[in-house]
Amino acid sequence: MTENHADGIISGAKAAGRNALDESAGKALLAGFGIRVPQSRVAKGTADLEAVMDGLQTPVVVKVMSPDILHKSDAGGVKVNLRSIAEVRAAIEGMLAAPKIRGARVDGFLVEEMAPAGHELVVGGLRDPQFGPLVMVGLGGIFVETFKDVSFRLCPIARIDAEEMLDELKAAAILKGARGGKPASREAIIDVLMKIGGEDGLLLRYAADISEADINPLIVSETGAVAVDARFILG
């Protein structure tokens, strides 16, 4: 992405009075830094789903887009593995009727391709008032929430820092395929960490605009990594 395009994503959200990027804009920003995101389209509702689905590979995922909803799954706002236009329509209708979505402002529904199966990691960033942006990585789910098994570094990180961040995780062995699981591509994770936290990375480039970044999850297979959820807080 040219700097202007990335700048436009952030200034557009600010001009609209938003304090966060919506998922579609967040993923466009990541893509601009060379991070893989699923192919996606935004559906306004259940009309024109033929056009929305045109060119997308099934199965797809549907997700509610709402500035009022932080955890889409908790609100019933994520449906995976949908194989037809009819299934996508039913998913959207179900979301529009869901108790936690009915009263919310809904911008639309993100329809996107499924990422190849893999380990779910979290890659994020936050801005320390004194030291500036920090980049973090951890394994998703209970590892982050219950065990707080994450590692942080001040930006910019070099490749060796990204390596150390991964080796530091208590769950590091899981990424190497412990207990019969498949390994996660170490190269792909390091690449994403550099694109987020490196010298030319997103966090430093937008240090003045982005106060928090959260890719949760980054799905990492043996061969690559895809950012399937993205949240950026501005300010």
Q: Residue from 13, 20, 25, 61 that binds ligand ADP (CB under 6 A)?
A: 61
84: contact with ligand ADP by CB under 6 A = no
23: contact with Mg ion by CB under 5 A = no
Q: Please give the C-alpha separations between residue 32 and each of 181, 219, 231, in angstroms, as whole numbers.
A: 32, 18, 15
Beta-ladder partners of 214? 124, 231
115: contact with ligand ADP by CB under 6 A = yes
The CA-CA-CA angle for residues 30, 37, 218, to 5°, reads: 85
Q: From CA 42, how far away is CA 93, in angstroms rounded?
A: 15
Pick between residue 42 and residue 207 the one whose CB is nearest to ligand ADP. 42
38: contact with ligand ADP by CB under 6 A = yes
| Min separation Cβ 145 and ligand ADP, Å | 12
* Cβ–Cβ under 8 Å, residues 96 and 188: no
Q: Residue from 33, 217, 225, 227 that binds ligand ADP (CB under 6 A)?
A: 217
Q: Select from 96-104, 185-193, 200-208, 223-231 the region that touches Mg ion (CB under 5 A).
A: 223-231
216: contact with Mg ion by CB under 5 A = yes
- Strand 132-139 and strand 40-43: pairing? unpaired
Those residues with Cβ within 8 angstroms of residue 209's Cβ, 6 or more apart along the chain or in another chain: 10, 14, 234, 235
Q: Residue from 21, 121, 229, 232 that binds Mg ion (CB under 5 A)?
A: 229
Q: Select from 12-20, 65-73, 94-102, 181-189 the region that touches ligand ADP (CB under 6 A).
A: 65-73
* Cβ–Cβ under 8 Å, residues 222 and 189: no
Q: From CA 234, how far away is CA 135, in angstroms rounded?
A: 16
Pick between residue 63 and residue 153 the one whose CB is nearest to Mg ion. 63
Number of residues counted as binding ligand ADP (CB under 6 A): 17
| Min separation Cβ 112 and ligand ADP, Å | 5
Q: Please give the C-alpha separations between residue 205 and each of 75, 82, 134, 145, 218, in angstroms, as whole numbers.
A: 33, 37, 13, 29, 21
Residues that bind Mg ion (CB under 5 A): 216, 229
Binding site for ligand ADP (CB under 6 A): 38, 61, 63, 71-73, 78, 80, 112, 114-115, 120, 216-217, 219, 228-229
